[in-house]
Amino acid sequence: MVQKCLDSGLPSPFWKSDPKLGVTVTFSTPEVTPEVTPEVTPEVIKLLKHLTGEMNWGDLQEVIGLRDAEHFRKSYIIPALEIKAIEMTIPEKPTSSKQKYRISSVGERILAGLANNNAG
């Protein structure tokens, strides 16, 4: 149990032994709110599944099959950046014409979680 908690990024459980009640195990979870941990939307998942290596805006939009740049920005790019599922190759120049995007470690964990859920 301890290893599973640690593997999931959670604190170790707290064990308490009482002669009358037996053993009690308490699990802790970090408090989260939607503002702190935004939802992983289907659009973000789709973006992650199509993002290979480093890709520019136009290539990403094309591979996903979207024509509306504003919809792509609001529904795909911004949410993915907000939850840090993707990262910019030139973060100090977010509007650069040379800007590309890549999957971050957070995005890799999201994809791994999807693969694990689909495998079982």
Decide: pTM greater than 0.75.
no
Tell me the C-alpha distance between 102 and 54, whole Å: 5
The string of DSSP codes covering 13-76 is: PEEEEETTTEEEEE-------TTTS----HHHHHHHHH--SSEEHHHHHHHHT---HHHHIIII
**pLDDT in 10s for each residue of the chain, 120 residues:** 667 766 766 777 777 777 876 777 776 766 554 444 457 899 999 999 999 999 999 999 999 999 999 999 999 999 999 999 999 999 999 999 999 999 999 999 999 888 777 765
Supply the pLDDT for residue 65.
Answer: 95
| Domains of the chain, earliest start first | 1-30 (no CATH), 42-106 (1.10.10.10)
